[in-house]
Structure 1
Amino acid sequence: MTNHSHIEYWQRFIQGDQEAFRSLYDVYVNSLFSYAIRYCADEEIVKDSIHDLFVDLHRYRSRLNPNVNVKAYLFGSLRRKVAESKKKSINRSISAEDYHFRLGLATEDYITLPDDKENEVLTKLRVEMEKLPHRQKEALYLRFTCDMSYEQVAQIMDISIASCRTFIYRAIKDLRLRMENSKISQLLFIAFLPTRDISK
């Protein structure tokens, strides 16, 4: 679906179109999961939060704004739900690392390249990226991996557009300084996990 289609489906869903609701779920469920699992390592919390998000959307659809940016609205809403769920789950022995945004979860989940030298550089880049402050990592992920505008990223993270630009500028500047002795292509600059399909 194009962005125009997303808005059309959103508006049809608000009017009670169940097929449009299912289409929105199918389009966004995997990208929502891929984003939230970096914010919270507990898959059950993430899945429950996505479920609750869509239940609430359906329940309160008559109150929804028909002219929102659908992608940013869904990501921002899920971010809040996951944060609320984590606060309620302290007694479930969630480790400290669950409270930080992670760009990678496991080495085998990353893309690999045929060139050994490029793989070496990419490995170094992964290490350096994980050293960034978690807000910078989240902004980078949303901006480049999710292909969102600065305005959308700011909305999701509940920060100003100026702060969003600063996060991204500082992250890229820092990475360039750390990687200045490595010949790295722009395509290698942001390398993240592929979307994981949880809809099946």
Structure 2
Amino acid sequence: MDTSNERELWQQFQAGNEQAFSTIYSTYFSTLYQYGYHIVQDEELIKDCIQTLFIEIWRSRRNLATDVPIKFYLLKAMRRHVYRAVRRQAPFISVAALDETNPVKQSVSHEFELIVQETNQQRQAQLQQAINQLTNRQREAITLLYTNELSYAEIAEIMTLKTRSVYNLVHEALEKLRRQLNPSHFTWLVPVLCCLLDHVRSSLETGP
């Protein structure tokens, strides 16, 4: 969705247009669900959080900022709702994001999903195993970067980190993947990871 259409959709929603509200819901439900599931592996809790989030923004729509990136706004709000729900229900649920050693089995980006689809079953298993070895915060950072296409600054705001810390998380994640993948099996992938690493290293040297 381009910026002008997104702005118009948001303005229609704030004016009380139910169709615009429904469009926002259907467009971003999957994104919010996948992101929420990364934090806590509880499908019903995630769905409840999404419902609560949309009820909240509908009720307060007239008081919301008039010019916001919808996906960024919803992801940030979703994180707040999930952690609020976690605090209410702990210790009855398993919170993946609070345990850096607990792997969450999920693909972390569109690029990686395409790679998995194009490889044979053995390579799929090896690649997914490597991805699962990342810490949850590393996976969260590269998910927001590659899947949701947010900027480092936006990711930092969502994760309540400094921008440089996000660069470090992404760098560590890519470096770990490069080390864990067998170059003889992934000769086409390792150069891609190296290229991404070079880009992140350059950003670390010149960034904030």
Q: Structures share a fold, TM > 0.5?
A: yes
- Give structure 1 stretches of 5+ with no counterpart: 190-200
Deviations 1:18-63 (A, max 9, x none): 2211111111111111211121111111011000101110111121
**What is the letter of the counterpart of residue 85 of structure 2?**
S
Relative to structure 1, the CA distance from residue 11 to residue 59 in structure 2 (aligned partners, 3 Å threshold; closer, same or farther) is same
Aligned to 2:64: 64
CA distance in 1, matches of 2:179, 2:173: 10
CA distance in 1, matches of 2:97, 2:137: 14
CA distance in 2, matches of 1:186, 1:89: 41
Aligned to 1:24: 24
Q: Choose between structure 1 and 2 for higher RCO, CA contacts under 8 A separated by at least 6 residues.
A: 1
Given that 2:137 and 2:169 are in contact with CA atoms closer than 8 Å, whether structure 1 keeps it comes out as: yes
Aligned to 2:93: 94
Given that 1:150 and 1:164 are in contact with CA atoms closer than 8 Å, whether structure 2 keeps it comes out as: yes
Relative to structure 1, the CA distance from residue 184 to residue 65 in structure 2 (aligned partners, 3 Å threshold; closer, same or farther) is farther
Where does 1:8-157 land on structure 2 (aligned, <5 Å)? 8-90=8-90, 93-95=92-94, 97=96, 99-100=98-99, 102-104=104-106, 113=117, 115-116=119-120, 119-157=121-159
> Structure 1 residue 171 and structure 2 residue 184: aligned?
no
- Give structure 2 stretches of 5+ with no counterpart: 108-112, 194-208
> Structure 1 residue 183 and structure 2 residue 186: aligned?
yes
CA distance in 1, matches of 2:40, 2:77: 15
Relative to structure 1, the CA distance from residue 123 to residue 4 in structure 2 (aligned partners, 3 Å threshold; closer, same or farther) is farther
How many correspondences in the alignment?
182
Identical columns (%):
27
Q: How many Å apart are 1:158 and its aligned residue?
A: 2.1
